[in-house]
Chains A and B, each alone.
Chain A
Amino acid sequence: MKTIQINTLERLYVTIQLILSMIIITGCLGGCVTAQKVDPSTVSKYEGFIHDGETTKQEIQDRLGPAQSIYENGGILVYYVYLQDDGRMNLKGPGTCHACVLVFDKDNVLERHSLVKHGCR
């Protein structure tokens, strides 16, 4: 019978490789989330009143209240939203915070909008 002897140093290398693999796997699987824009229709699906070229800034502010952030003198509004299990958008947690970005034209009509997953800071 052939016996293969593994010396202490090789055992240590194997142990280190195992630890490294575990850390790499942990890092890859659970390390981070990406702030990513999702299909704009997602917002319309969750909040039916938001439509490009139709919805006014006033309507949005009446329904959602004051925005979390304002850019370009009110031309861009950012709302922090939380997606609930039933598919509704909520302005309060629990859950993960996403950024709903709304861009208005000179007449204060919604021009473009997006939902950036994990887009809150």
Chain B
Amino acid sequence: MNVTVWSNMAADRWLSISCSVLIGVLLLAGCLPIPVVPHGLGVVPDKEAFESLRPGVTTRADVLLLLGEPNHRFDDDRFLMYEWTVAYGYVIVGGYTQAYPIPVAAPHYLCLEFGLDSRLVRNEHLIGSLYAKPDKAIRRCTKQSEELDESGEK
């Protein structure tokens, strides 16, 4: 009876230790991302400012006065795009003496379209997939509002 209890306890302990070691090895080897509260990296546009933008009211000048220079300008400034990065986790890489946290991050875009009267027609917050390049977001952003209406994407 005692032997059975001991063997069960030993098995549990063995399993716990194995799991711990495996998780530890994966974390240290950079195979498991450590999740964190999503936060911006680098320069992030002022959230309050971009939430205050109103289609039909806000002008291109208002946007520039509030947010500064955009990262991308298209079609004679009909489209302006602000870009920033949000980290969702970190992967620890390194050797015995040094370790570096590498962010698991995705690009975010604020896409703004203006009409002929310089007023805001459309503002969209686009989120790219992890480590995505801006090409897809740029294609989506520079689709004019009418095209999005027609294709039902809006």
Interface residues of A (CB under 8 A from B): 7-9, 11-12, 16, 19-20, 23-24, 26-28, 31-37, 68-69, 71-72, 75-76, 78, 98-99, 101, 103, 112-114, 116, 118-121
A9 touches B69 (CB 8 A): no
Contact of B44 among A7, A24, A34 (CB under 8 A): A34
Complex: chain B residue closest to A12, CB-CB: B20
Interface residues of B (CB under 8 A from A): 13, 16-17, 19-20, 23-24, 27, 34-37, 39-47, 49, 60-61, 64-71, 77, 84, 87, 90, 92, 101, 118
B19 touches A31 (CB 8 A): no
Residues of A within 8 A of B17 (CB): 8-9
Residues of B within 8 A of A72 (CB): 60-61, 77, 118
Given contacts A28-B37, A36-B46, contact A101 B68 (CB under 8 A): yes
B71 touches A121 (CB 8 A): yes
Q: Cα distance A120–B67 when bound, in Å?
A: 9
Contact of A32 among B35, B37, B42 (CB under 8 A): B42
Contact of A28 among B16, B39, B68 (CB under 8 A): B39
B77 touches A32 (CB 8 A): no
Complex: chain A residue closest to B92, CB-CB: A19
Contact of B67 among A26, A76, A112, A116 (CB under 8 A): A116
Given contacts A31-B40, A72-B60, contact A120 B46 (CB under 8 A): no
B43 touches A16 (CB 8 A): no
Q: Cα distance A28–B23 when bound, in Å?
A: 25
Residues of A within 8 A of B69 (CB): 68-69, 78, 99, 119-121
A71 touches B90 (CB 8 A): no
A7 touches B65 (CB 8 A): no
Q: Cα distance A47–B84 when bound, in Å?
A: 30
Q: Cα distance A19–B47 when bound, in Å?
A: 29
B65 touches A35 (CB 8 A): no
B45 touches A35 (CB 8 A): yes
Question: A34-B45, A71-B61, A118-B68 are known contacts; what are 4 more A-B pairs with Cβ within 8 Å?
Answer: A34-B43, A68-B69, A101-B68, A103-B64
B68 touches A119 (CB 8 A): yes
Q: Cα distance A71–B90 when bound, in Å?
A: 39
